[in-house]
Amino acid sequence: MIIAVIGATGMVGQVMLSVLEERNFPVTKLIAVASEKSVGQKILFKGEEIEIVSMQTAIDLKPQIALFSAGGETSLQYAEKFAAAGTTVIDNSSAWRMDPAKKLVVPEINADQLTVEDKIIANPNCSTIQLVMALHPLNLKYKLRRVVVSTYQSVTGTGKKAVDQLNAEIAGNENVERVYPYEIFRNALPQCDVFSEDDYTKEELKLMTEPKKILGDDSFAITATAVRVPVQGGHSESVNIEFENDFELTELKNLLNQTPGVTVLDDVEKQIYPMPLYAEGKDEVFVGRIRRDTSQPKTLNLWIVADNLRKGAATNAVQIAEYLKDNKLI
């Protein structure tokens, strides 16, 4: 199977390569694509040096699957060209997510909607993925009425230059390119991405729209505040959920713990709860601090943490590829 990774030198692209290798995805030929200035350079995959090629070369090689993680503009420019060549594109940008003609997929939730006709498949936003992994089983059982989510997002969600900015600030080096409007070290920025006309950021709007599409449910209300924090290696979310139906906490915790891809870490007596340090490098979505909201009925508080580069991006994309392969959709 010929697989192309578009954006192979980026943070998510590098993790995609690692996940393909870790999960023994049957790659017979890997095509690595990066920026034009990177063409001819080499990367390592399964111990072999792979030469980076141009976008057009990759299209001409007609891979069965192309994993895109090179930004929305690149996806809009090239995804359809790959699809026209017969390639199934799994795109990690926001370019196609809310396109009504494209599927927005978290495999544990809605991969069964995929068909051979789906040549461009959208990978959801990293914060959305970990949120819906917890919301999905709860919605089926108790029916969502309203969700309020506040995120605490790692600098890795912005990219390598953001990690460089944080590390430079930690080291006291002021001579670094700043990708945030303010210092991130010793700080928390209530701005992830740019602001829209209604004063929500693009990240917040993704959290407010993508879950409804993935869950196939427009009936619940959802609002979000997204915050960037000086953390490397995982996004955290404080989530308040009001249900149509009441719940029993032990049953609810068991339901979450039995959900594939979700692990409950919730023992406050032993100070056990999810943290980015614990989630980094892992593929599970971790849920803890599960407690009833005492301010109103049928309402729950919980804390969700996941590695945003893995389940929040690369692993989810590779899981989609696995589903396509296993169900003979490519």
Centre a 10 Å sphere on the Cβ of residue 165 and count the other Cβ atoms it contains.
22
CA-based radius of gyration for the chain: 20
How open is the CA angle 97-100-102, to the nearest 5 degrees?
A: 55
pLDDT for 233 = 87
Which position among 43, 126, 214, 226 bears the catalytic label? 126
For the four alpha carbons of 277, 278, 283 and 284, in that order, the dihedral sign comes to negative
Determine the pLDDT at residue 22.
97
Question: Active site includes 192?
Answer: no
Say if residues 135 and 240 touch (Cβ distance below 8 Å).
no
Q: Which of 212, 235, 310, 311 does the annotation list as catalytic?
A: 235
Which tokens hold the place of 2? 């010929």
- The CA angle 280-282-16, to the nearest 5 degrees, is 95
pTM over 0.95: yes
First-residue to last-residue Cα distance in the chain? 10
pLDDT at position 175, please?
Answer: 85
Per-residue pLDDT of the chain (330 residues; tens, 9 = 90+): 999 999 999 999 999 999 999 999 999 999 999 998 999 999 999 999 999 999 999 999 999 999 999 999 999 999 999 999 999 999 999 999 999 999 999 999 999 999 999 999 999 999 999 999 999 999 999 999 999 999 999 999 999 999 999 999 999 998 889 999 999 999 999 999 999 989 999 999 999 999 999 999 999 999 999 999 999 989 999 999 999 999 999 999 999 999 999 999 999 999 999 999 999 999 999 999 999 999 999 999 999 999 999 999 999 999 999 999 999 999
